[in-house]
Amino acid sequence: MIVIPAIDLRGGRAVRLFRGDPEAETEYSTDPVEVATRFESEGARRLHIVDLDAALGTGDNRDIVVEIARSVAIQVQLGGGLRSIEAVEQAFESGVARAVLGTAAATDPGFVEKAVARFDDRIVVAVDVKDDHVMVRGWREAGDAIDAALPRLVEAGAPQFLVTSIRMDGTMDGPDMALYERVLTLAGDRPVIASGGVRNAGDVWALRELGVEAAVVGKALYVGTMQLSEVVRG
């Protein structure tokens, strides 16, 4: 089980949104690179970076992504606004190891096929769920129901999924275990990364028992209800 610290970038800062609402932002640092190196020093094996400005169409934080990738030796996965093969190429040129596809994947499984054909398992497909539907365009629009979307993405060759429960994201109310149990069935043998609601180490162990490969954790690490040392082994 891998715990992946999240760093959400907005306007050059490390922030967290409550349930993805751009109006409900908490700033945690004006130095995201320092946050990244601190997580690495605490034992993180991978970082999850989201460029919120790129996702929301209000700009980008590419320079900071490049600096983070250069400043750590661990893998960095990047999401936010990667809606073309060219954008994915630029992400990899920035030094990240994995590209997280959201809106483009959810709305066009053919894009997933093209991306996987070119970049193989460096592609992660994000499935952001609210009320049983996949949300797109910065979580502002509802797409297909997950029961239809997941099998279609599996058929398109998605190598792995990052599934976020928007209802739980940023709430510290615990993971949506029922959602992940359902997704694991729909995803077949594809690895699933869980995101949203993790409060403490107990939540991490519960997700491990359920069968997810990894958990993206944000707020719990920033406010101190969980330490990486509790969940990182060896």
| 145 CB-near residues (< 8 Å, 6+ apart) | 132, 133, 134
Say what the pTM is.
0.94
Q: Kindly report the backbone phi and psi dihedral angles of residue 108, in degrees, each rounded to the nearest multiple of 5, phi listed first.
A: -150, 90
Handedness of CA 154, 156, 158, 163 (dihedral sign): negative
What average pLDDT does the segment 66-81 reach?
97
In three-state secondary structure terms, 183 is helix
Catalytic residue among 8, 60, 169, 176: 8
- Quick one: what percent of the chain has pLDDT higher than 70? 100
Please give the mean pLDDT across all residues of the chain. 94
Q: How confident is the model at residue 24 (pLDDT cuts 50, 70, 90)?
A: confident
Instruction: Inform me whether the pLDDT recorded for 55 exceeds 80.
Output: yes
132 is catalytic: no
8 is catalytic: yes
The model's pLDDT over 134-171, given as tens digits with 9 standing for 90+, comes to 998 877 788 899 999 999 999 999 999 999 999 998 88
Handedness of CA 76, 79, 80, 85 (dihedral sign): positive
What average pLDDT does the segment 209-224 reach?
96
The DSSP output letter for 173 is: S
Catalytic residue among 60, 128, 176, 203: 128
Distance CA 180, CA 212 (A): 8
Which pLDDT score is estimated for 20? Answer: 77
